[in-house]
Structures are given as structure tokens and as C-alpha cells.
Amino acid sequence: MPETKPPMGLDPNMGAREFVLEVDAEALEKMRKEAHVKIPLIGESFAIACDEGEAVGGDNTAPPPLAYFCASIAF
């Protein structure tokens, strides 16, 4: 039977792993911010927007930064 290898990055015998992200963030109007994230290894990119609620000076057009942080703990 031929030897099969797990997908890249899942080999339990690997001593080290590296994950590289490139992130540029910009402040927009009021409290709104947008981050542009690139993952060079797989050639993917995406954008993340955040905003604050009206009570603290934002327009409530996207989740607040703390919501992203709390969700990341769940993942």
C-alpha cells in the first residue's frame, strides 16, 4: 500500500509551523474601520469592517471590535 501524507500543515511529525498574514487597517468615517487581510501561502484575501454603536459615536454599521475578539475565543 502506498504511503499517504496528510494535507499540508497537518503532519504530526512537523516540528514547527508558520502561518503568515498581511494586514492593512484604515480608519474611515467616525468610528468605522476596515482591515484588509491577505494570506500569501494560499493566495486568499478578505476584508473585515468594524464600527461602534451610536451611543459611543459610531454608526452601528458593523460589529464592534470587541465582538470579533469574543468570537475569536469561541473558534
Given a cut of 80, whether residue 12 has pLDDT beyond it is no
Decide: 49 and 34 in contact? Cβ < 8 Å: yes
* Residue 67, in any domain of the structure: yes
* Residue 4, in any domain of the structure: no
* Residue 5, in any domain of the structure: no
Phi-psi region of 48 (alpha: psi -120 to 50; beta: other; left: phi over 0): beta
Taking the model in full, what pTM does it have? Answer: 0.70
The reported pLDDT for the residue numbered 23 is: 97
Name the helix (H) or strand (E) containing 72: helix 65-74
Given a cut of 60, whether residue 1 has pLDDT beyond it is no
* Residue 70, in any domain of the structure: yes
Given a cut of 80, whether residue 54 has pLDDT beyond it is yes
* HEC per residue, 16-71: CCCCCCEEEEEECCCCCEEEEEEECCCCEEEEEEECCCHHHCCCCCCCCHHHHHHH
* Residue 52, in any domain of the structure: yes
Give residue 41's domain range.
22-74
* Residue 9, in any domain of the structure: no
| pLDDT tens per residue, range 20-38 | 999 999 999 999 999 999 9
Given a cut of 60, whether residue 6 has pLDDT beyond it is no
Number of structural domains in the chain: 1
